[in-house]
């Protein structure tokens, strides 16, 4: 039986990623249009989902969400503020607070998303945290404070700007002694993977990583982190 191409397992929206990356590299669109076209597809798909995890981009059931995302908490090594870049409907913010408590830790969650519609949904779902959920592009957003832990996905920027994304977060958003957390993403194998090696080639020192088996035995769920 033919297996699903690994690119499709890693990224269900790989067709979108490939299209906008090609258009950007050819000069057909600029970076602002890259972000607009990605949001044009992602936002309605998230809003149409009928579960909190679906509105945060994860198909399946809640157990699958917890399994795939809770390893982010492995990167939390103390109490502090936690910013989720690409927070969507805020479900990860909620879960991080709960997962941290289960480990004897306390985090204060904050959220940032480029989509005004998803930010509105997050604020409606989490009215007590509405003042902590912001609309903006992480590449240009000016925060009123720094955060002990900042989680992001590097896919939130065009490929050619991903080093700049990590650098920008470390320089402007992570507090002194804080940590940039990347993931969850789909990695290959249990040792240093291609993303980890790429980030090290950019001059970042990866301080740690964690992984968990994926349903596809070619992949693992991974999180890595870089200390400020």
Q: What is the pLDDT of residue 217?
A: 85
Rounded to a whole number, what is the largest CA-CA distance in the chain?
A: 54
Q: Phi first, then psi: give them for residue 80, nearest 5 degrees.
A: 160, 180
Task: Judge whether residue 88 has pLDDT over 80.
Answer: yes
- The mean pLDDT value for 198-225 works out to 94
User: What pLDDT was estimated at residue 171?
Assistant: 97
One DSSP character per residue, 191-215 reads: SS-HHHHHHHHTT----EEEEEE-S
Strand partners, 174: 147
Residue 6 confidence (pLDDT): 41
Q: What is the pLDDT of residue 79?
A: 98
CB 181 within 8 A of CB 75: yes
Give residue 124's pLDDT. Answer: 98
Mean pLDDT over each residue of the chain, to the nearest integer: 93
User: What per-residue confidence (pLDDT) applies to 216?
Assistant: 87
% of the chain with per-residue pLDDT over 70: 93
Q: How far, in Å, CA of 18 to CA of 190, rounded?
A: 26
pLDDT at 12 > cutoff 90:
no
Domains and CATH numbers, the chain: 6-227 (3.40.50.150)
- The answer to which of 5-9, 89-93, 102-106, 138-142 has the lowest mean pLDDT is 5-9
């Amino acid at each position: 039986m033919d297996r699903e191409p690994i690119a499709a397992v890693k990224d269900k929206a790989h067709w979108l990623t490939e299209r906008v990356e090609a258009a950007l590299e050819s000069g057909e669109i600029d970076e602002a249009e890259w972000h607009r076209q990605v949001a044009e597809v992602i936002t309605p798909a998230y809003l149409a989902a009928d579960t909190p995890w679906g509105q945060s981009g994860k198909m399946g059931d809640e157990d699958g969400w917890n399994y795939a995302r809770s390893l982010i908490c492995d990167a939390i090594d103390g109490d502090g503020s936690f910013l989720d870049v690409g927070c969507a409907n805020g479900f990860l913010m909620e879960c991080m607070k709960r997962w941290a408590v289960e480990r004897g830790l306390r985090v204060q969650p904050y959220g940032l998303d480029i989509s005004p519609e998803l930010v509105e949904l997050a604020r409606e779902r989490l009215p007590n945290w509405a003042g902590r959920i912001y609309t903006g592009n992480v590449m240009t957003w000016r925060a009123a404070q720094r955060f002990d832990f900042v989680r992001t996905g590097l896919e939130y920027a065009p490929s050619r700007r991903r080093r700049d994304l990590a650098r920008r977060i470390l320089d402007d958003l992570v507090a002194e002694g804080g940590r940039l957390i990347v993931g969850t993403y789909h990695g290959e194998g249990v040792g240093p993977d291609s993303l980890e090696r790429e980030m090290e080639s950019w001059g970042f020192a990866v301080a740690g990583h964690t992984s968990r088996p994926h349903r596809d035995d070619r992949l693992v769920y991974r999180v890595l982190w870089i200390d400020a």
